[in-house]
Amino acid sequence: MITLHGFSSSNYYNIVKHVLLYKDIPFVEDTQYGGTDEYLALSPAGKIPSLTTEGGINLSESSVCCDFLEETYPEKPLYPADSTARAQVRQIMRISELYLELPCRRLIPFVFSKKAVPPALEKEVRSVVSRGVGALNRVGKFDPYLAGDKLTMADIYLRYVMSVVSLAKGCIDWDIAAEIQGLKEWQTLMADSDISKKVDADREANRDEFFAIIRARMGG
């Protein structure tokens, strides 16, 4: 059976977990927070999540894990059959990660420390995220899903990307979601699935333990 390593407060962990649940793939969860030599055997760069296949092979990087699951378990596909449409889905995923998630992730230390974001960093984050907002407004269909009338991998990616993006609202006083046309209605649609409800409940249950570990690592 597949084992998913990581923790439920991680948005990247939840991307892979959502895919596993959507495809009805049996798996077990192994709570890991990284930062140990033992975890490097599962994830060479020490990143969360990692996945152990049924054959005992360890994989890391959420996109790699998701592609493995899509190719190995093709039932209930999350990519269109047409190659151009597949590329369009991947384009949305890359925009979501490069121009929304990664810049907003730089604000996380200030969320936990409650310190003010340096003006230079705020300016840089705003510049990159503005490009992402504009790009997503141009390529996102939200009809009702990101790529059209069917759920794709892009929807799962953006749902958990937005859990990091939402942190920016409190840090730099910017409601990014409000600037993406159709996003809030799409978020309501996505949140209403049984899979999303389970992932969200597990994330909430993990919150206190995760925060305690972060505070300990920050020396607080």
Q: What is the DSSP letter of 10?
A: -
Give the model confidence (pLDDT) of 88-136 as tens digits.
Answer: 999 999 999 999 999 999 998 898 888 999 999 999 999 999 999 999 9
Nearest Cα residue to 47 out of 57, 60, 37 = 60
Domain 2-76 is of which CATH architecture? 3-Layer(aba) Sandwich (3.40)
Nearest Cα residue to 16 out of 97, 70, 80, 76 = 70
Backbone angles phi, psi at 87, to 5 degrees: -65, -35
pTM above 0.75, yes or no: yes
Give the model confidence (pLDDT) of 2-25 as tens digits.
Answer: 999 999 999 999 999 999 999 999
Quote the crossing angle between the two packed helices 153-165 and 62-72, to the nearest 10°: 160
Question: Distance between terminal CA atoms of the chain?
Answer: 38
Which of these CATH numbers, 1.20.1530.20, 1.20.1050.10, 1.20.120.530, 3.30.70.890, describes 83-191? 1.20.1050.10
| Statement: residue 218 has pLDDT above 80 | no
pLDDT of residue 213: 82
User: Taken in order 183, 211, 60, 168, is the CA torsion positive or negative?
Assistant: positive
The residue length of the chain stands at 220
Domain boundaries, the chain: 2-76, 83-191
